[in-house]
Amino acid sequence: MTLDGKTLVVTGVASGIGAATAALLQRHGATVIGVDRNVPAESAGTFVQGDLSTPEGVAAVADRVPEGISGLLNIAGVPGTAPWQTVLAVNVFGVRELTRLLLPKIADGGAVVNLASNVASGWAARQLEVSRFAQAADAQEAIAAVADDPEVTGNSYRFSKECVRWLTQVQASENLGRVRVNSVSPGPVQTPILEDFKKDHGRDKVEGAVALLGRAGRPEDIAEAIVFLLSPQAAWLNGTDLCVDGGLLAHRTVTAMATAAA
């Protein structure tokens, strides 16, 4: 596969999955515009420092992106150990608003890939709540409105990624025939924030999952899936989530069914 002549915006480029994705894109010949709050040790292509937690920060990043890009990879995110308001601001509204601002700059036939998570696999059970929040006209009002909802504030990361799953479908539906929009849902990945996931989701649960699988995912595992979704081979994939977790979700689903049937 070659991405020669393609220019792609990658958020979260300073570390982890974002850094691995940017490096892989460059190996395939793409030009990368990397975005992060932190300055990467090694910059893959052009780097734009920016804060995706506020509308002003998102707009400032979007202003520095030229017309005619080939796609946007929304990889930046914060873990559930951060204040819940920040988790929702970045993981939901940062993704939504940057995509909204950059879609007109994406050439026909381009693609958007959003990073979701396998912890959001049950999103459809809360689809009404998720859709209302993710599509609220005013982000700050939406965040304030859930302040007394422990299901959201106590599970902000999961809820944020459920919103990403829904936003992926909305964005795909609104851009049929022009820009494809898909998401990727990793399981535990060996990144700088894996320790945060252990604190947020339970150390025994995360370490048990890694032991079951034989290893944690590598950033490169997820990067390969993301880049595949940009390829001609994925031309008929749109509004779809690609779960890249070594089979963890499948195992948990089968185990839960067997327990319920016992």
- Domain at 244, CATH number: 3.40.50.720
Q: What is the pLDDT of residue 177?
A: 96
**Gap between the Cα atoms of 214 and 233, Å rounded:** 30
pTM value is: 0.95
Higher pLDDT, 169 or 200: 169
Over residues 240-260, the mean pLDDT reads: 95
For residue 2, being part of any structural domain is answered with no
Q: What is the pLDDT of residue 50?
A: 97
Among 47, 157, 159, 197, the one annotated catalytic: 157
Whats the size of the chain, residue-wise? 262
Domain that holds residue 65: 7-261
Q: Are 113 and 71 in contact (CB under 8 A)?
A: yes
Please count the structural domains in the chain.
1
| pLDDT surpasses 90 at 1 | no
| pLDDT surpasses 80 at 76 | yes
Q: Are 189 and 219 in contact (CB under 8 A)?
A: yes
Render pLDDT for 95-134 as a digit per residue (tens, 0 to 9).
999 999 999 999 999 999 999 999 999 999 999 999 999 9
For residue 116, being part of any structural domain is answered with yes
For residue 242, being part of any structural domain is answered with yes
Q: Are 90 and 28 in contact (CB under 8 A)?
A: no
Going from the C-alpha of 176 to that of each of 50, 179, 181, 251, the distances in angstroms are 30, 7, 9, 34
For residue 153, being part of any structural domain is answered with yes
pLDDT mean across residues, the chain:
96
| For the chain, percent of residues with pLDDT exceeding 70 | 100
Give the residue from 31, 39, 33 showing the smallest Cα distance to 15. 39
For residue 44, being part of any structural domain is answered with yes
Strand order in the sheet with 179-186: 46-49, 31-36, 7-11, 69-74, 106-115, 179-186, 241-244
* CA trace torsion 128, 132, 134, 135 (10° rounding): 130
Going from the C-alpha of 187 to that of each of 45, 112, 126, the distances in angstroms are 28, 20, 21
For residue 1, being part of any structural domain is answered with no
Cα atoms found within 13 Å of the Cα of residue 170, Cβ hemisphere only: 17
The contacts of residue 125 (CB under 8 Å, 6+ apart) are none
Render pLDDT for 140-177 as a digit per residue (tens, 0 to 9).
999 999 999 999 999 999 999 999 999 999 999 999 99
Q: Are 165 and 123 in contact (CB under 8 A)?
A: yes
Higher pLDDT, 142 or 1: 142
- Band of the pLDDT at 44, cuts 50, 70, 90? low
Q: What is the pLDDT of residue 178?
A: 98
- Band of the pLDDT at 70, cuts 50, 70, 90? very high
- 51 part of the active site: no
Q: What is the pLDDT of residue 262?
A: 79
For residue 170, being part of any structural domain is answered with yes
Give the residue from 58, 32, 25, 60 showing the smallest Cα distance to 47. 32
